[in-house]
Amino acid sequence: MPEVSTHSASVETARGPVHLNWASVTDTGKRREVNQDAVFAEYPLFVVADGMGGHVGGEIASASTIERLKAVAAAGAVTPKAIEKALTLAVRDIAAHPEATDDGTGTTVTGVYLDSVDTQPHWVTLNIGDSRVYLVRDGAIVQITTDHSVVQELIASGRLSPEEAENHPYGNVITRAVGPTDGVTPDYVKLDIVDGDRFVVCSDGLTKELTDYGIRHFLEENTDPADAVDAMLSAALENGGRDNITIIVLDVTTSADASDD
């Protein structure tokens, strides 16, 4: 298994210091030959991309998207406008790549960033596809993002129960991705900064193997983000590891004495 370590950052905001601890991992899993997932986890942006497409197309799509988003984070101003410009450039990168020849080549992109410039600092989640952002607050786990998938549309319309969705034959069919079409816009959700919050950003390789309650269990058992990531990856592999698995765990502290480790 990949070696995982915890990283830290302290941020001064208009509402006081925010201390962050996080860890991330990506793994090919047990059944895939290539890892088509990609991950970027550095303040202020934490994102996962899950590529799709024949040959190496999915790997190209996810890597291209993450590279464009890295540049946004490096510039220091993560905004919806900057994200959408980066995704437009990623679509062009994917289309121009000589090995990304499959019409279905594309990638999910899902994550969270800290908007600390605003006078009311807050978190913003972004999502295209069926990778997910979870939030654990006050002991409860909530899926913040909504899957862009055929199965989710069937659930929303009342034609399928969540239990039936688990083994549905269209379980892997997504309805929105970066790559196949131009002008794809993420869904955004704005969240307050709350002391003690824990975010999990993951590809569906994790959620195929662990339920929401399973994810919460491993978070409760492991206070350190690296330990939590390791535990979830191990469990997902033990449960089958049917897909590439990518996980970010991000912890939030707002105590006045928060500082870099």
Chain segment 159-181, per-residue pLDDT in tens:
777 766 666 665 667 788 898 66
Q: In terms of pTM, does the model score above 0.75?
A: yes
What is the amino acid identity at position 226?
A
What is the amino acid identity at position 123?
W
Q: Inter-axis angle of helices 212-221 and 225-238, to 10 degrees?
A: 140
pLDDT in the model for residue 27: 97
Q: Please, which residues have CB within 8 angstroms of residue 131's CB and are 6 or more apart in sequence?
A: 48, 49, 50, 108, 109, 110, 145, 201, 202, 203, 204, 246
Pair of tokens at residue 258: 């928060």
Residue 183 pLDDT greater than 70, yes or no: no
Distance CA 226, CA 219 (A): 10
Which residues in the chain belong to E strands, given as ranges? Answer: 7-13, 16-27, 37-42, 45-52, 106-107, 109-115, 122-128, 132-137, 140-143, 187-191, 198-202, 245-253
Residue 149 is classified by DSSP as B
Cα distances (angstroms) measured from residue 39 to each of 35, 166, 233: 11, 25, 15
Chain segment 204-227, per-residue pLDDT in tens:
999 999 999 999 999 999 999 999
Chain segment 145-157, per-residue pLDDT in tens:
999 877 777 777 7
CATH T-level fold of 7-253: Phosphatase 2c; domain 1 (3.60.40)
Answer for the pair 249, 224: CB distance below 8 angstroms, yes or no.
no
